[in-house]
Amino acid sequence: TQLLEQSPQFLSIQEGENLTVYCNSSSVFSSLQWYRQEPGEGPVLLVTVVTGGEVKKLKRLTFQFGDARKDSSLHITAAQPGDTGLYLCAGASGSARQLTFGSGTQLTVLP
């Protein structure tokens, strides 16, 4: 069974601070996706990374896929209250359209 461990589980920071969320596994994934979920809604895809060592930037968000494709990180610069939400990493393996999700990081950005 593939597992994805996310840390931290909870994060509460002040507006303007930087933060990093980690997603680790002992398994290799063909791709790694990050989603953000708000209360009462389904997850929304932020990014997909597929190549070991790949770095993608989405405005203030930077995503990195580990060289061995077993881990990933999400870095947010100058967090804003609108960044508040549940951040989920999810790994895909082989040819199946089936994701293994991490347990999530609940981020709260205080104004």
Binding site for another protein (CB under 8 A): 30-31, 33, 35, 40-45, 48, 50, 88, 90, 92, 94-104
Taking the CA of residue 31 as centre, how many other CA atoms within 13 Å lie in the half-sphere pointing to its CB?
13
83: which 2 tokens? 């960044």
CB of 35 to another protein, least distance (A): 8
Measured from the CB atom, is 84 or 103 closer to another protein? 103
Which amino acid, one-letter code, is at 105? T
Q: Show Cβ contacts of residue 27 under 8 Å, excluding neighbours closer than 6 positions.
A: 2, 3, 70, 91, 93
Measured from the CB atom, is 10 or 15 closer to another protein? 10
Measured from the CB atom, is 42 or 82 closer to another protein? 42
